[in-house]
């Protein structure tokens, strides 16, 4: 994910910001007062039509089927906040919430043990939005546990899938069901094809975020405009979110490319200043694709969450990729091998044959994107290295010649569209 331009200003990864040249002496990020001013001006979440809220007033059983229906109806276009969703946080758990997921609730020492005390940790200095070196989990545990801190530091990009803690985490079932990368690997024949070609799934589904009070993450879009699930187990965080309207995205791009970005409060550049969401222990938040957001930590907090691509949002994922390209985001801060997975998603739909309007629209979106990408590759006068990089993203061992595959895919879209339209008309 990105906030910043290449060499001169800061930049953001999954949430970690990097490369600032200005060092502040104070220990309060200069945007926090603006954030607090905005928060005080907001009405309660329960009166906000821009989010879907399931809270203590929901007095009947709320299951995976209910959540899936909301996602299907809204196409995951609004934030969904479910209060008291995690039974591992008993003090806030709402027994009417019956969602299938497991987010363990431990103290920092136990998390450290399960992650591994020697595991390297990307630690961000809130003031500079800059990563600090030479941190491991043991050092972080000691810092997080201390009553005083030399600096306000934040851990927001530690992926834990391969740790003992990761093995205890069950991603919300509804997220698993719409995660399109997971779908590729859940199809036995397609998964075999991927593994034979040594294409492993990207490790983006399980992160632990650990923030002391007054941490702040400036406005950003998650890499590739991925959707996100967050489950807070301790503390209190607030999010300011802005929807991905054309005006907001244009303003965001200009802000990312600005030399004064780190001094400019992004909401001051747009007409609609966004919405506020309070996230508290036991809550589950689903953040839609491409929403611009900033985060303030009000109390020492621990969140477990992750990122995912989904068919509802493929157009947004593509828009985010283009935005990252336009703002010169390095590969290390982007969704791992996104272009390769776009080719693979297209090939998966080509073999599978879309069976509904959602799949057909997703198929069309990704094929149209690849048509443009490949035309650009063939006609571009870019340096040889850049073209080589784009060509290298094509999984030729799987799809064969890219132009021949695109010809087949374009033809198949027309073949598949009419039967699905007839099916829709009948219903």
**Of 326, 286, 284, which is closest to residue 307 (Cα–Cα)?**
286
How does residue 47 score in pLDDT terms, banded at 50, 70 and 90? Answer: low
Tokens 């994922």 label which residue?
A: 317
Instruction: Output the average pLDDT for the chain.
Output: 90
CA distance 347 to 363: 9
Q: Domains for the chain: give ranges and CATH numbers.
A: 28-319 (2.60.120.650), 342-425 (no CATH)
Distances (CA, A) of 103 to 108, 111, 206: 14, 12, 10
pLDDT at position 422, please? 62
Distances (CA, A) of 252 to 218, 219, 324, 379: 12, 9, 11, 29
pLDDT of 410 over the 70 cut: yes
Reported as a single tens digit per residue, the pLDDT across 363-373 is 999 999 999 99
**Which whole number is the average pLDDT over 7-21?**
38
Lowest pLDDT segment from 14-28, 50-64, 337-351: 14-28
Reported as a single tens digit per residue, the pLDDT across 167-212 is 999 999 999 999 999 999 999 999 999 999 999 999 999 999 999 9
pLDDT at position 424, please? 54
pLDDT at position 272, please? 77
CA distance 176 to 287: 15
pLDDT at position 26, please? 54
- At 42, phi and psi to the nearest 5? -90, 145
CA distance 86 to 102: 8
pLDDT of 216 over the 60 cut: yes
Distances (CA, A) of 335 to 46, 178, 339: 34, 17, 9
How does residue 290 score in pLDDT terms, banded at 50, 70 and 90? Answer: very high
Chain CA centroid to CA 30, Å: 25
**Which whole number is the average pLDDT over 270-282?**
92
């Amino acid at each position: 994910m990105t906030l910043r331009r290449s060499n001169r200003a800061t930049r953001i990864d999954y949430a970690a910001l990097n490369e600032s040249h200005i060092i502040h002496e104070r220990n309060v990020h200069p945007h926090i007062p603006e954030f607090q001013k905005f928060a005080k001006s907001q009405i309660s979440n329960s009166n906000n039509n821009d989010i879907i809220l399931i809270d203590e007033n929901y007095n009947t059983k709320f299951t995976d089927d209910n959540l899936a229906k909301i996602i299907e109806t809204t196409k995951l276009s609004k934030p969904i906040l479910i209060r008291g969703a995690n039974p591992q946080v008993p003090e806030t758990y709402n027994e009417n919430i019956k969602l299938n997921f497991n987010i363990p609730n431990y103290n920092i020492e136990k998390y450290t043990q399960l992650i591994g005390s020697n595991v390297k940790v990307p630690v961000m200095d809130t003031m500079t939005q800059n990563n600090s070196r030479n941190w491991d989990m043991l050092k972080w545990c000691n810092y997080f546990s201390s009553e005083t801190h030399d600096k306000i530091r934040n851990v927001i990009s530690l992926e834990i899938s391969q740790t003992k803690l990761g093995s205890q985490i069950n991603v919300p079932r509804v997220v698993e069901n719409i995660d399109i990368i997971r779908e590729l690997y859940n199809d036995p024949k397609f998964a075999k094809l991927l593994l034979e070609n040594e294409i492993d799934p990207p490790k983006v589904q399980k992160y632990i975020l650990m923030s002391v009070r007054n941490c702040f993450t400036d406005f950003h879009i998650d890499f590739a405009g991925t959707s996100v699930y967050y489950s807070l187990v301790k503390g209190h965080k607030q999010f300011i979110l802005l929807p991905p309207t054309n005006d907001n995205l244009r303003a965001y791009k200009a802000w990312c490319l600005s030399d004064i970005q780190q001094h400019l409060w992004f909401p001051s550049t747009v007409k609609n200043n966004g919405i506020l969401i309070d996230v508290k222990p036991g809550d589950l938040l689903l953040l839609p694709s491409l929403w611009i957001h900033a985060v303030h930590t009000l109390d020492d907090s621990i969140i477990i969450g992750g990122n995912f691509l989904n068919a509802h949002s493929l157009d947004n994922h593509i828009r985010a990729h283009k935005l990252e390209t336009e703002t010169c985001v390095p590969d290390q801060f982007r969704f791992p091998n996104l272009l390769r997975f776009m080719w693979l998603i297209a090939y998966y739909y080509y073999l599978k044959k879309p069976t509904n309007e959602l799949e057909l629209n997703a198929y069309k979106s990704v094929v149209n994107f690849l048509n443009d990408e490949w035309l650009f590759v063939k006609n571009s006068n870019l340096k040889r290295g850049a073209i080589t990089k784009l060509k290298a993203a094509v999984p030729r061992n799987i799809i064969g010649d890219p132009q021949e595959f695109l010809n087949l895919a374009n033809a198949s879209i027309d073949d598949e569209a009419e039967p699905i339209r007839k099916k829709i008309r009948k219903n």
